[in-house]
Amino acid sequence: MARRLRSSQLETRTNRLKLAIRKKPYAFTALSPGIALGYRRCQGAGRWVVRCADGHGSSWTKVIAIADDHEDADSKDVLDFWQACDKARKLARGSDGTDLNRPLTWGEGIDAWELDLKARGGRIGNATRLRSLVPPGLLAKPVTLLTGTELARWRDRLIERGLQPASVTRECKSAMASLNLVAGRDERITKRPWTLALKALPGSRKARPQVLTDDAVRTLVAASYQVSERFGLFCELLAITGARPVQVSRLLVEDLHESNGFVMMPRSVKGKGVKRIDRRRLPLPAPLLQKLKAAAGDRPAHAPLLLRDDGEPWQPVNSDVWRAFRDTLALTRLPKCTPYALRHSSIARMLLRGVPVRVVADHHDTSVAEIERTYGHLIADHAADIISAAQIDLEPTSPAPGKVVSLKARRS
């Protein structure tokens, strides 16, 4: 039979009440390797505190219950010394070995966020990339113990590693998403220091999107067909619709309505809140519809519409589209860009040709506010042309100077 743990300073209320009142816990008593129980002497009843090593040279502490200094233990909220020892072990290890009661570390929070992204159809690559950027010490630290200072230091070190401010802001958004997920599931987390520590860097959202000329878009699409017929079709659809690669990859055979001249483009899951992935009708030119019909063949209605050369569906979250696009760009003399340049160019083209902003936003599955924020300079330039054309020309034209044109009198 295992020996009963003893601590003359903590196991009786008489000895505990002799201690001086202070915030620092008294007498951390080792319960198991890496797990210890301490006692905080308060003005009223004291508090039991567990300390647990994280395996990386650091540890976390947590108040777990009220001590039975002035009332009898109830095995739930008020605990005696031995009950506190049992609860401390369960909190550190988990009562069933799954660590369900232990505060999650940031690394575990990223794992949970990745599962959440997968369940919602999001881009799990965001979680994979974030995990590679967070040092082991922070990954192993409980979210409850993360401070604003160390989070801000982590953000600033991303700049030292060579990331651009826009990229740092994007990774900070991913970090906040993972931390908010943990905080939303753990009622013990009442403070969220990352809200201020990981806010966007100044100027990181002011970069103008890369807009290509119509000739440059034609060059890119032609080069993509040199890389692969199937990738060429993928790029042509991106250029014509302005959709995101992830939307095009979700197209099904049943989304093609070749006889009616349109395709039902899946909506994106970008943004906050619960989104329903429905579809939006987008018109397509006849030649592209014919190519898509040939690509669909006689495959089932719920089969992916576009496939890679190996017969598998395109997976933008795994960067297969980006790799093929890189090979495409190498065949041209165009400046470095990403597949999103085709989307930016489509939005800019419509704006400069007078398509209403609301229509442009709806066609491209975004909001008017986002269009105005990202492409405001194009709207301003186009508005200037419209206003200039509508301004009065004060230079006389006809009749000749000095003549007054009489107007017909109004009938009474």
Residue 396's identity, in one-letter code, is P
Q: Would you state the pLDDT for residue 296? A: 93
Nearest Cα neighbor of 120 from 224, 342, 16, 271 is 271
Q: Residue 273: pLDDT band by 50, 70, 90 thresholds?
A: very low
Q: Residue 144: pLDDT band by 50, 70, 90 thresholds?
A: confident
Residue 210's identity, in one-letter code, is Q
Cβ atoms 69, 16 nearer than 8 A: yes
In this prediction, residues 263-269 reach a mean pLDDT of 85
pLDDT reading at 258 higher than 90: no
In this prediction, residues 185-206 reach a mean pLDDT of 80
Percent of the chain with pLDDT over 70: 84
CA–CA separation, 279 and 274 (whole Å): 16
The two beta strands, 78-79 and 59-67, are: parallel
Neighbours of 154 (CB within 10 A): 22
Tell me the pLDDT tens digit for each residue of 9-21: 888 888 888 889 9
Helix (H), strand (E), coil (C) string for 329-392? HHCCCCCCCCCHHHHHHHHHHHHHCCCCHHHHHHHCCCCHHHHHHHHHHHHHHHHHHHHHHHCC
**Of residues 144 and 253, more confidently modeled:** 253
Q: Would you state the pLDDT for residue 1? A: 40
3-state secondary structure of 122: coil
Question: What's the mean per-residue pLDDT of the chain?
Answer: 83
Q: Would you state the pLDDT for residue 86? A: 85
CA–CA separation, 406 and 237 (whole Å): 60
**Of residues 100 and 136, more confidently modeled:** 136
The two beta strands, 26-32 and 279-283, are: unpaired
State the number of CA atoms in the 13 A half-sphere of 258 facing the CB.
Answer: 15
Q: Would you state the pLDDT for residue 215? A: 94
Q: Would you state the pLDDT for residue 95? A: 45
> Residue for token digits 């967070």?
134
**Of residues 53 and 271, more confidently modeled:** 53
Q: Kind and range of the H or E element at 61? A: strand 59-67
List strand residue ranges (DSSP E) for 2-58, in order: 26-32, 35-40, 47-53
CA–CA separation, 22 and 353 (whole Å): 72
pLDDT reading at 23 higher than 90: no
Whole-structure pTM value: 0.59
Cβ atoms 251, 233 nearer than 8 A: no
pLDDT reading at 102 higher than 70: no
Cβ atoms 324, 227 nearer than 8 A: yes
CA–CA separation, 189 and 205 (whole Å): 30
> Residue for token digits 């900070």?
172
CA–CA separation, 244 and 267 (whole Å): 9
Cβ atoms 261, 289 nearer than 8 A: yes
Tell me the pLDDT tens digit for each residue of 300-344: 999 999 999 999 998 876 678 989 999 999 999 998 998 999 999
Phi, psi of 127 (to 5 degrees): -70, -40
Q: Which two tokens stand for residue 320?
A: 């297969």
Q: Would you state the pLDDT for residue 53? A: 74
> Residue for token digits 């009332």?
71
Percent of the chain with pLDDT over 90: 37
Q: Would you state the pLDDT for residue 403? A: 55
In this prediction, residues 179-193 reach a mean pLDDT of 84
**Among 76-85, 99-108, 270-279, which is the least confidently predicted range?**
270-279
In this prediction, residues 23-29 reach a mean pLDDT of 85
In this prediction, residues 262-273 reach a mean pLDDT of 74
Phi, psi of 56 (to 5 degrees): -130, 30
pLDDT reading at 275 higher than 70: no
Q: Residue 274: pLDDT band by 50, 70, 90 thresholds?
A: very low
Q: Would you state the pLDDT for residue 401? A: 55
Q: Residue 381: pLDDT band by 50, 70, 90 thresholds?
A: low
- DSSP state for residue 26 in the 8-state scheme: E
pLDDT reading at 96 higher than 50: no
Q: Residue 354: pLDDT band by 50, 70, 90 thresholds?
A: confident
Q: Residue 217: pLDDT band by 50, 70, 90 thresholds?
A: very high
Instruction: Please name the residues in contact with 231: beta carbons below 8 A apart, sequence gap of 6 or more.
Output: 224, 225, 308, 309, 324, 328
Q: Which two tokens stand for residue 102?
A: 């232990």
Nearest Cα neighbor of 292 from 248, 323, 325, 322 is 248
- Burial of 382 by CB count in 10 Å (0-12 exposed, 13-18 middle, 19+ buried)? middle
Q: Residue 364: pLDDT band by 50, 70, 90 thresholds?
A: very high
CA–CA separation, 10 and 82 (whole Å): 10
Residue 279's identity, in one-letter code, is R
First to last CA, the chain: 118
- Burial of 55 by CB count in 10 Å (0-12 exposed, 13-18 middle, 19+ buried)? exposed
Please state the separation of Cα 166 from the chain's center in Å. 13
